[in-house]
A and B are shown apart, each in its own frame.
Chain A
Amino acid sequence: MLAPLFFSLASRSFQRQIAYRAAALAGFFTNFFFGMLRAALLAALYNARPEMAGISLAGAVTFTGLTQAMIGVQSLFSWYEVMNSVYSGAVAGDLLKPMGYFRFWLAQDAGRALAQFFLRGLPMMLFYAIFFRITVPQTFGQWMAFVLSLGLAWLLCFAWRFWINLAGFWTPNALGLVRLGFILLYFFSGFLMPLRFFPDWFVQLSAFTPFPYMVNTVVEIYLGVLQGPQLLQALAQQAFWAVVMIGICQLTLSAGVRRLVILGG
């Protein structure tokens, strides 16, 4: 019953994204430029080594392309929309909509992510294929696992972004806190470098957080580093964290809404 509403929200958000063509184009070139710098750095680090921690140089270069492509799709660095809607007061109207507040934003983020996939994600991989030697998944099954993993990563990453934005319900100066939330993601997700390159203690530490499942897992599945049972386990962990994170979001949200109602916005 609610599906049409979900799709209409997603489609409107998709169109909004498409409308900002110059911004998307500029964003794409910025992402690609940074990707080139990161690829050059990795090439210099490899310095004629054939591989490191199970990742070839071509794999490492592909890693930079994939992560740069995910910046837009996952909105890895910034997303303050829920916080801003609390501050602008738009939240009051949105809470009355005939669908949950989380789903309301999930629908819009789905449209946003899909638009960014076409505007910045896919072109990034195409550019990488032209400028660099990159690797692609070898089997149909691996492609399917990658797509599934990317979808789960998006859901989990959205839930994280949504959750840190909820700080806006508690304080009028939540910007710094939300920013801190993005820094954690930036550091622990394996965005900067494949987590396999980090010291073991760091990898073990980050495995207790939801962050590796937002970026690193997707990359490792794409590169074929994870196979068979390991791959299935990784997907299961992604799904587990997505469910946990969504649950935390709903609990926090209802507390936030209670607070908003008591304080009268």
Chain B
Amino acid sequence: MGLYFRLISVQIRSQMQYRLQFVVDMLATMLISVASFFTIAFVMQRFGSVAGWSLGEIAFLYGMVETSFGVMDLLFSGFDPGNFGRQTRLGRFDQLLLRPASITLQVFGSEFTLRRLGRIFQGAAVFFFAISLVKPHWTLPHLLFLPFVFLSQVLFFGGLFIIGAALSFWTLEALEIVNIFTYGGTEMMAYPMHIYPSWLRNFFTYILPAIFLNYTPAIYLLNKPDPLHFPAYTPFLAPLAGFGVFFAALAFWNYGIRHYQSSGT
């Protein structure tokens, strides 16, 4: 862990050398998210609701996912598939292999992209906007559950990044497929999942358990009806899904490293 914090501090100091660039980049990151949220907020003024969910409830889903993805994007920057793949082609991964320290730890410490803070700030703002609109009547169990949902989402998205990074040992060209699950996943999870066609929803239920990370917990936290008729315990599967995807990803990552060492690039 000491090594991790040293590596991260290097990354932070490096980025602070380019302060203006950092500010512009952070603003840009923030504005993209702001633009998407304002668009849906504007359009909902016309339409009223999204399949029975009000603007505040949509903002809750949206804010949760944006914040957790932003936090993941910061902590797991080293695994960002596109960047990791390019760095590996340039020989950076070989440099890590030459050092007597855990590979995974070194990749965690190899990037810490501070401009992702822009997304976190924006996501948090939308989240609190949602709370102010919805005014949920939360009891202690709700409040205790919320951080677990958040952590599970971070681990879930982090797992997807790790899988993408591992895939880049085989191919860079097909990496955009990973974007379907990461960036597509956030886009999808920002809205109530019952709006999607059933085959798509089933994929994100049984193959990749995205539905349990935001939608079903929100049904519990916002006390919404469940048109999909999941069992009553379903909202509480979030930690299982989050940790499950994360550990499966780590296993695949180790397999990817073995492949890299037998094939090179």
Residues of A with Cβ closer than 8 Å to B?
A: 20, 22-23, 26-27, 29-30, 33-34, 36-37, 40-41, 43-47, 49, 52-53, 173, 175-177, 179-180, 183, 186-187, 192-193, 197-199, 202
Contact = CB atoms under 8 A, between A and B. Distances in A.
Contacts of B38: 187
A40 B196 contact: yes
Given A45-B47, A193-B43, A187 B173 contact: no
A221 B173 CA distance: 35
Contacts of B195: 40-41, 43-44
B117 interface: no
Contacts of B226: none
A121 B192 CA distance: 29
B5 interface: no
A161 to B, nearest CB: 16
A45 B35 contact: no
A199 B188 contact: no
Q: Classify the secondary structure of A's interface with B.
A: helix
Top 7 closest pairs, chain A to chain B, by CB: A176-B24, A22-B173, A26-B176, A44-B195, A44-B51, A187-B35, A192-B39
A193 B37 CA distance: 12
A250 to B, nearest CB: 26
Interface of B: 18, 20-21, 24-25, 27-28, 31-32, 35-36, 38-40, 42-47, 49-51, 171, 173-177, 179-180, 184, 187-188, 191-192, 195-197, 200
B31 A183 contact: yes
A26 B173 contact: yes
B31 A36 contact: no
A261 B25 CA distance: 29
18 contacts: A22-B171, A22-B174, A26-B173, A26-B177, A30-B179, A30-B184, A33-B184, A36-B196, A36-B197, A37-B184, A37-B196, A40-B195, A41-B195, A44-B51, A44-B191, A44-B192, A46-B47, A186-B35
Given A40-B196, A180-B28, A180-B31, A27 B176 contact: yes
